[in-house]
Amino acid sequence: MLSMIILTITGVLVLFLGLRKGKELIVPIAALGVVAAGGSYFFYDTMGQEWMKGMMATQAIPGVFVGLLLVCTLLLLPFLNRYQPRGAGEMGDVTGLLLFAIIGGMMMVSHEDLMILFLGIEMLSIAMYILAGSDRRIIQSNEASLKYFILGAFASAIFLFGVGLYYVATGTFKLVDFKIISPEIFAIGIMVIFAGLAFKVSLAPFHFWAPDVYQGSPTLITAIMATIVKIAGFGALFQFLRYQVQHAGDWFYWLIALIAITSMLIGNVMAFGQRSVKRLLAYSGVVQAGFILVGFLHLKSENSWMILFYLVAYALASIVSFVAIYFVESKKGSDDIAEFKGLFFQNPFLAVVFTIALLSLGGGPLTAGFMAKLFVLYHAAGTGSPFFVVVALVLAVISMYYYFKVINQFFTNDQESTASWKIGWTYQAVLVLISAATLCFGIFPYWLIRWISA
């Protein structure tokens, strides 16, 4: 595909710029590469259809997932300028690896063959293992990278075992136009592949890596994990299940429902006692993954818009949240909840945008997160599961407690530290754009629905 070739060339170029100490050019060239890749994908990419026919889909729903990946990358790239003081080499490495991770994500959300899915998973995962340990001077970063790598390799082995079972049951790696030879082995294969992908999106009980890796990784890298990896993971899950769910029995509906409720319950319970805000948001991510999975109940292609809407709302709120944590952490040296005390009196801008993001994650009215939760719960009610809806609604209300616990810290006046501080106007502009989008999609959701349904 031309878009992937452009991203590959850009990634290599960025790595060379790191070697030649051209750090001022790294982010602008990376942004140009992402824009060019997007342009080629949506307006001039026939190579995917000709060369990858039967292995990758480049139109319709996969295209929207790819669009989300590229837009999130553009929103995250400006913040990588914060790596400039640490040298051109490190900045080039981080930016280049992000671009290679995006290529893996594009393969994951577009696959129509399990080998393409596996290649995409490995390309994304290897880049993220390295990025998690990119702050070599901090032992927690090294530990996060090692833990992510070991558990990720374990998940890949599970996934490959499922692929093997799928091949035995169908005689092919392709997702369409296949014949089931053994229904029993096919069912087990789907379940095992689902478990492998559930690890990538941190659904319970495959979430145990997320808190430690989120907390130990550099915070800007955690923002990439919470957005790019999540979108790629759910895009891969959607692309896989949309073809397989019709062949699975009713048991698969109950499996999805059980994992969704378990994720919401465990994520909420574990988030309550957290003092590290990054760790709290990691458990919040488990809860959000459970809500997104609700959209997979009785999965049909025409219902994909609600999954995409939720991913947009979650990605926007996650970028703002982790970037805000990054700035506070840079200023105070910790992401402990006590460090956020009096943030409104020190940096009102950051406190306001962080509050909007947390309200959106909790499902507060007038935010994209509220509409996202409303849509998936409405869908669940339509599948004839009122008990499921009631439980999910109660858990959503309970989750507001720990979001407000953080927000309460912002507006508690800290007499010991009243010195104000600011962040650069470029970063403020990006955060304002994202926060405005969060509110716009909450008040006028049909704007986004129209785009993702087109």
DSSP letter (8 states) at residue 208:
T
- For 73-122, the pLDDT digits (tens) are 999 999 998 887 777 677 888 999 999 999 999 999 988 899 999 999 99
pLDDT band at 396; cut points 50, 70, 90: confident
What CA dihedral angle connects 381, 384, 386 and 391, to 10 degrees?
-80
What is the gyration radius of the CA atoms in the chain, in angstroms?
21
Closest by Cα among 71, 70, 77, 111 to 96: 77
Handedness of CA 366, 367, 371, 376 (dihedral sign): negative
The mean of the pLDDT values for the chain is 88
Contact 69, 109 (CB under 8 A): yes
Find the mean pLDDT for residues 237-264. 87
DSSP letter (8 states) at residue 111:
B
pLDDT at res. 397:
87
| Stretch among 2-6, 239-243, 297-301 having the lowest mean pLDDT | 297-301
- For 316-329, the pLDDT digits (tens) are 999 999 999 999 99
Residue 48 has pLDDT above 60, yes or no: no
Residue 47 has pLDDT above 60, yes or no: no
Residue 49 has pLDDT above 60, yes or no: no
Contact 354, 320 (CB under 8 A): yes
- Cis peptide before 218, with omega less than 30 degrees from 0? no
| Stretch among 70-84, 292-306, 399-413 having the lowest mean pLDDT | 292-306
Closest by Cα among 258, 112, 106, 111 to 177: 112
Q: Percent of the chain scored above 90 by pLDDT?
A: 54
Residue 311 has pLDDT above 90, yes or no: yes
Residue 420 has pLDDT above 60, yes or no: yes
Contact 109, 239 (CB under 8 A): yes
Contact 166, 190 (CB under 8 A): yes
pLDDT at res. 111:
87
Please name the amino acid found at residue 93. D
pLDDT band at 385; cut points 50, 70, 90: confident
Q: Transcribe 269-289 into DSSP letters.
A: HHHHT--BHHHHHHHHHHHHH
CA–CA–CA angle 96, 215, 341 (5° rounding): 115
pLDDT band at 174; cut points 50, 70, 90: confident
Please name the amino acid found at residue 238. F
CA 301 to CA 105: how far, in whole Å? Answer: 20
- For 127-160, the pLDDT digits (tens) are 999 999 888 788 888 888 899 999 899 999 999 9
Contact 298, 374 (CB under 8 A): no
Select the more confidently predicted residue: 414 or 305: 305
Burial class (CB in 10 A: 0-12, 13-18, 19+), 354: buried
In the chain, the N- to C-terminal Cα span, in Å, equals 23
